[in-house]
Amino acid sequence: MARRRGQETIRDMTLSLGVVMAGVLLFALFMPRGGGDAVKAVDTAAPVTAFARSAPFAVVAPVGLPGFWKATSIRTDAPSGASRTQTVELTIGYVVDRSGNRTYAQLNEGNASDAVKRILADRPVTGAVEVAGESWQERRDDAGHLALTRQAGDVVLIVSDGGGKGGASPADLSTLAASLRPHTA
């Protein structure tokens, strides 16, 4: 004997709920999962080569960084056929992805005379360090964030911890600075 709508028993409702929950459980079990916590690296070779072709100066780029250094962003600002008077800039963001210890670093390179002030604000020179035979200025802000800066001719190089939470250690910044080599296209 069929029951009329609205006269279901608790048993009927429990069975219906069980069928729905089984479907949800199966969906959750077989749902594709993303990498979750994996760092998504980007290829920097082609953008750096294109930047080097248009930059009015000899470009340097990191070479031989350890495998746990992952480039995660790259930005170039270089108009086609840039002249000596035009400002061009390259910025590469890195995640230093050690097991249980993920930090961040950034490389800025360009010929803007105000690059240090624009990127680091009024961060004063607080010391000097020699890295791979080159003298770099240390600049720390009040929160302890570190940047290494160097003027090479009309090119400004800035290696920094990004100024945010989870910045790279001084040793990591020295590793990045030491890895800089002339880029050959």
Q: pLDDT per residue over 160-182, tens digit each? A: 998 778 889 999 999 999 999 99
pLDDT of the residue at 30: 80
Cα distance between residue 163 and residue 59, in whole Å: 24
pLDDT confidence bin for 113, thresholds 50/70/90 = confident
Instruction: Give all strands (DSSP E) within the chain, no chain letters.
Output: 60-62, 69-77, 89-98, 101-110, 125-131, 134-140, 146-152, 155-160, 180-182
Scanning 4-124, the segments in alpha helix (DSSP H) are 10-30, 45-54, 115-120
pTM: 0.77
Contact 172, 162 (CB under 8 A): no
Is the model's pLDDT at 8 over the cut of 80? no
Q: What is the dihedral of CA 166, 100, 107, 79, to 10 degrees?
A: -100
CA distances in angstroms from 123 to 138, 140, 141, 180, listed in the order given: 10, 6, 5, 23
Is the model's pLDDT at 153 over the cut of 90? no
Mean predicted confidence (pLDDT) in 136-157: 92
Q: pLDDT per residue over 76-99, tens digit each? A: 987 665 555 678 899 999 999 888
